[in-house]
Amino acid sequence: MIRQNTQLGIWLMITTTLIFAAQDGISRHLAGEYNVLMVIMIRYWFFAAFVIAVATRQSGGIRHAAATRQPWVQGFRGVLLATQICIMVLGFTYLGLVESHAVFIAYPLLIAALSGPVLGEHVGWRRWAAIAVGFVGVLIILQPGLRVFQPAALLPLMAAFMFALYGLLTRYVARLDSAAVSFFWTGTTGAVALTVVGVWAWEPMTAPDWGWMALLCVSGALGHFTLIKCYEVAEASAVQPFAYLQLVFASAVGITVFDEVLRLNVVLGAAVVAAAGLFTLWRARQRGQ
């Protein structure tokens, strides 16, 4: 039994968000130069190799890691996450890191909204009110009717919906499968799906960009490792609020590296969405206690 250490878990979550923010910056650069499918496909090849390497070191090896009683749901989860990442990275190229993440942080609210139909959980009026407030925050960010609406703004919103569904399905399969099994299926099925469509989008890459690609792959594996360790040493409800720091770190990358502009409506809208999301996390923790 691993001893619980909330303070260490918080620092691991902060480290994870910093790694993922840097990864998003690299993804934006590469996706701006090459086909998104190819970029994410190569990233997933490394991810799958990492997952398989982890599985071989566990008791029972790959056979045990792949053993599931719900292969269709596990396969759908893996393909869903791979598709979500492609859509989110595409959003980076059209909207930038700041606006994409400002909209994407609505995913905890979508998890709360979908937990009823997907998992059969009860969602009280307080959480529904928080969801409605969070949606108002998204509207503040997107400003429909106040400026020319960009269809690309729907990309991070779609990615948030898909990530929320992925998170709920992860909780669903956890009723029968271990985290190791879900981790194995996430990496391998995503790699297979992206290879099927990504090989047709192959483009020659410059030597410096191969360096960035290698850094992207390593950071992806490192980020998943620190996230796993984070949830091993601390309860999810205690560390999850610190996941919002990814918005701060990603925005810093967008502003300093890509010369993005931080507009007032994005700051206000993101603050509303984050506050609503933190409230839903607090309510979930109160119900759990």
Q: Which residues contact 126 (CB under 8 A, 6 or more apart)?
A: 279, 283
Nearest to 176, CA basis, from 245, 259, 90, 77: 77
Which residues form the domain of 29?
A: 6-288
Nearest to 186, CA basis, from 34, 74, 262, 91: 74
Angle of helix 264-288 versus helix 97-104 axis, rounded to 10: 30
Whether 228 is in a domain gets the answer yes
Whether 47 is in a domain gets the answer yes
Whether 32 is in a domain gets the answer yes
In this predicted structure, what is the pLDDT of residue 92?
93
Whether 60 is in a domain gets the answer yes
Q: Which residues pair with 147 in a beta bridge?
A: 144
Whether 1 is in a domain gets the answer no
In this predicted structure, what is the pLDDT of residue 285?
64
Whether 89 is in a domain gets the answer yes
In this predicted structure, what is the pLDDT of residue 61?
84
In this predicted structure, what is the pLDDT of residue 284?
63
Segments of the chain with pLDDT less than 70: 1-3, 119, 121-123, 125, 143-149, 236-237, 281, 283-289
Cα 228 from Cα 16, distance rounded (Å): 10
Number of structural domains, the chain?
A: 1
In this predicted structure, what is the pLDDT of residue 39?
95
Whether 201 is in a domain gets the answer yes
Cα 210 from Cα 14, distance rounded (Å): 27
Q: Which residues contact 250 (CB under 8 A, 6 or more apart)?
A: 20, 21, 24, 25, 97, 98, 101
In this predicted structure, what is the pLDDT of residue 119?
67
- Helix %, strand %, coil % of the chain (to 5): 85, 0, 15
Cα 88 from Cα 215, distance rounded (Å): 19
In this predicted structure, what is the pLDDT of residue 60?
82
Whether 23 is in a domain gets the answer yes
CB 114 within 8 A of CB 169: no
